Amino acid sequence: MGMGIDVRNRMARRAAEEIAPGMVVNLGIGIPSLVPNHLPKETRLMFHAENGIVGMGKSPEKGLEDENLCNAGGFPVTVMEGSSYCDSAVAFGMIRRGRVDLTILGSLQVSQKGDLANWIVPGKKVPGMGGAMELAQKAGKVAVLMNHTDKNGVPKIVESCTLPLTAENCVDIIITDLAVFNIHEGSLILSELFAPHTVTEVTAKTACDFSIVEDIRIIEY
Amino acid sequence: MENPFGKIATLEQAMEHFYDGMTLMFGGFGGVGSPPDLIDGILEKEIKNLVLIGNDTGFPEIGIGKIVSRGKARKVIASHIGSNPVAGELMTRGEMEVEFSPQGTLTERIRAGGMGLGAILTDVGVDHEFVAKGKKRMNLNGKDYLIETALTAEVSIVYAKKADPYGNLVFDKSARNTNPLVAMAGNFTIAEAQEIVPLGSLDPEEIVTPGVFVDMVIPSGGVNWQWAWE
């Protein structure tokens, strides 16, 4: 696998390329939580948590956890220089007002025009939407990190989502274990491939049409 | 400690304000920032048929989850119940009604209640079948909004780092979360504080919740549950 890093970290590293200095970024649980490990040390940015933190830092060392300093998933975090706390209403005001530049989240399905379906797992009880709708609808850029197919090999990038939608027309970029797609004005564009995967393989595992950029990038890491 | 406003009380005195069938709003996010002694007091007094309003239903043995997982709520208004599987089972069996609200909309509904407003307008979920269902809409300056009703409660319970005898509150890091909003939205608000400090010892600039919103302050024994990460 490339330079020997595992698939999840490859995807996280690619997602980290979406982050520019000075951004406010909200990370979902799962693979998105690996993204900070792939940022250059000197990058100054603010990680936002919807419970009420701007400027979240790395996880604390074992034994140094503070039960009153947790991310939105309930796990202990630290804060960086310049961080601040706020109440949850203000944290969501930042999202609705467009102050969160980028959200990186997981999904169950994404449609070719950027509909996001990530709030109801099939066969499970309805768990509630939490803060996913605000983030999907209002973040400056929505990046989805997900496996290209589900564990049964069924494509997760589809013509039209069969699962209940979180929000319509909101996804800007999809990063899978095979490839990177951009969604521009409602159309899906394959722009990058993770080596050694091919257009043929991606086409076979994608349940909708897409266009391909002329100078497709091959990601070697 | 001097008690010039009569707000400092014991857990036993606080418990006189809880009764079956009441609407109860609680601070906290995944159990972080929920008041442990008040929650235990509600359980010990075997209060039931509660309508609970708060961000989420915690975990089965963490935060408000302790009340939910013992079947003491007939209805919950929350943004998610995903971390408490017992809540999901109760909902599926029809033993507990759940009203879901997007997280930011929910906090804003609570804030509106606390601010004396009747509702808010938001476009979050305006085109979403589940969220928009049964809600009034408004077109304002060419844009569609949902009318989301404000929320208040008969009693609000919050967890603070410090309280003074007037009920001025300071919170601890991310344990602030929904607490300042919930504190404002209670008809009667009880703050459980890790520390009660003398009047005048909090800098007026640092106070997050003015004591005017707080009716009672009780000392806290601190969190007594084990966190999921422990």
What's the whole-number average pLDDT of chain B? 97
CA A132 to chain B, closest CA, distance in angstroms equals 8
Per-residue pLDDT of A149-160, as tens digits, reads: 999 999 999 999
A65 belongs to the catalytic site:
no
CATH code of A71's domain:
3.40.1080.10
Give the pLDDT mean for B139-154: 98
Cβ <8 Å between B130 and A49:
no
CATH code of B42's domain:
3.40.1080.10
Per-residue pLDDT of A25-84, as tens digits, reads: 999 988 998 999 999 988 999 999 999 999 999 889 999 999 999 999 899 999 999 999
For residue A75, the chain B residue with the least C-alpha distance is B229
Domain range enclosing A184: 7-219
Q: Residue A1: inside a domain, yes or no? A: no
Lookup: tokens for B84: 């408490």
Q: Is the pLDDT of residue A146 over 70?
A: yes
**ipTM of this model?**
0.97
The per-residue pLDDT for A87 is 98
The per-residue pLDDT for B201 is 97
Q: Residue B1: inside a domain, yes or no? A: no
Q: Residue A206: inside a domain, yes or no? A: yes
The per-residue pLDDT for A125 is 66
Lookup: tokens for A26: 């909200």
Q: Residue B202: inside a domain, yes or no? A: yes
Q: Residue B144: inside a domain, yes or no? A: no
Q: Residue B15: inside a domain, yes or no? A: yes
CA A215 to chain B, closest CA, distance in angstroms equals 37
Give the pLDDT mean for A78-98: 97
Number of separate domains in chain B: 1
Instruction: State the pTM of this model.
Output: 0.95
Q: Residue A2: inside a domain, yes or no? A: no
CB of A5 less than 8 A from some CB of B: no
CB < 8 Å to B88, chain A? 125-127
Q: Is the pLDDT of residue A123 over 90?
A: no
The per-residue pLDDT for A2 is 42
Q: Residue B124: inside a domain, yes or no? A: no
Residue B4 burial (CB < 10 Å; 0-12/13-18/19+)?
exposed
% of chain B exceeding 90 in pLDDT = 99
The per-residue pLDDT for A172 is 98
CB < 8 Å to A128, chain B? 56, 78-82, 98, 100
**Cβ pair B171, B179 in contact under 8 A:** yes
Degrees, nearest 5: CA angle B104-B59-B169: 55
Cβ <8 Å between B179 and A87:
yes
The minimal CB distance from B82 to the residues A65, A87, A127 is found for A127
Give the pLDDT mean for B48-57: 98
Per-residue pLDDT of B70-102, as tens digits, reads: 999 999 999 999 999 999 999 999 999 999 999
Cβ <8 Å between B102 and A89:
no
Domain range enclosing B54: 11-116+156-219
Number of separate domains in chain A: 1
Check A18, A50, A134, A192 and give the catalytic one.
A50
For residue B225, the chain A residue with the least C-alpha distance is A67
Give the pLDDT mean for B121-137: 96
Q: Residue A35: inside a domain, yes or no? A: yes
Give the pLDDT mean for A115-138: 88
- Torsion sign (Cα): B223, A130, B156, B111: positive
The minimal CB distance from A68 to the residues B78, B122, B175 is found for B175
Count residue pairs from A and B with Cβ separation < 8 A: 143
CA A17 to chain B, closest CA, distance in angstroms equals 28
Per-residue pLDDT of B168-177, as tens digits, reads: 999 999 999 9
Q: Residue B91: inside a domain, yes or no? A: yes
Q: Is the pLDDT of residue A1 over 50?
A: no
Lookup: tokens for B209: 């919740």
Pairwise CA distance, residues A174 & A144, whole Å: 5
The per-residue pLDDT for A5 is 76
Give the pLDDT mean for B198-222: 98
- Torsion sign (Cα): B163, B167, B168, B173: positive
Give the pLDDT mean for A101-113: 96
